[in-house]
Amino acid sequence: MPRLHFDPEKSRHLACLALCLVAMPTLAHARGVHARGGHARGGHAPPVDPAVMPEITAPTAYLVDVASGRVLFARDAHRRFVPASLTKIMTSYVAFELIAAGKLKLDQRFTMRPETFRQWHRVGSTMFLGNNSSTTVADLLEGIVTVSANDACVVLAEGIAGSVPGFTAMMNAEARALGLHDTHYNTPNGWMDQGQTYVSAADLATLATALITRHPDLYHRFYGHERAEFNGIAQANHNPLYGHTPGADGVKTGFTGEAGYGFVGSVERGGRRVIFVLGGYGRPNDRAQQSRRLAEWAFAAWDSHPIIAMGAPVATAPVQGGAASSVDLVTPQGYAITVPHGTVPRYTLAIRYKSPLTAPIARGDAVATLIVRAPGQPIERLPLVAARAVAQGGMTDRLRDGLAAITGKRGTP
- Positions marked catalytic: 85, 88, 148
- The amino acid at residue 288 is A
Torsion of CA 181, 165, 211, 282, to 10 degrees: -70
The C-alpha atoms of residue 12 and residue 25 are separated, in whole angstroms, by 32
Cβ pair 308, 334 in contact under 8 A = yes
Q: What sign does the dihedral 120-121-124-129 (CA atoms) show?
A: positive
How far does CA 266 lie from the centroid of its chain?
10
The phi and psi torsions of 263 (rounded to 5 degrees) equal -160, 135
Nearest Cα to Cα of residue 134 among 109, 159, 151: 109
- Specify the DSSP class assigned to residue 76: S
Cis geometry, peptide bond prior to residue 47 (ω within 30 degrees of 0): no
Output Rg (C-alpha) for the chain, integer angstroms.
24
Torsion of CA 53, 54, 58, 63, to 10 degrees: -50
The C-alpha atoms of residue 190 and residue 86 are separated, in whole angstroms, by 7
With both helix axes pointing from N to C terminus, report the angle between 201-214 and 88-100 in degrees, rounded to the nearest 10.
30
| Pairing of the two strands 233-236 and 260-269 | unpaired
Strand locations in 4-102 (E)? 14-22, 34-39, 60-65, 71-75
The C-alpha atoms of residue 105 and residue 225 are separated, in whole angstroms, by 21
Cβ pair 198, 204 in contact under 8 A = no
Cβ pair 138, 99 in contact under 8 A = no
The C-alpha atoms of residue 305 and residue 335 are separated, in whole angstroms, by 9
- Name residues whose C-beta falls within 8 Å of residue 212's C-beta, 6 or more positions apart in sequence: 66, 219, 250, 266, 273, 275
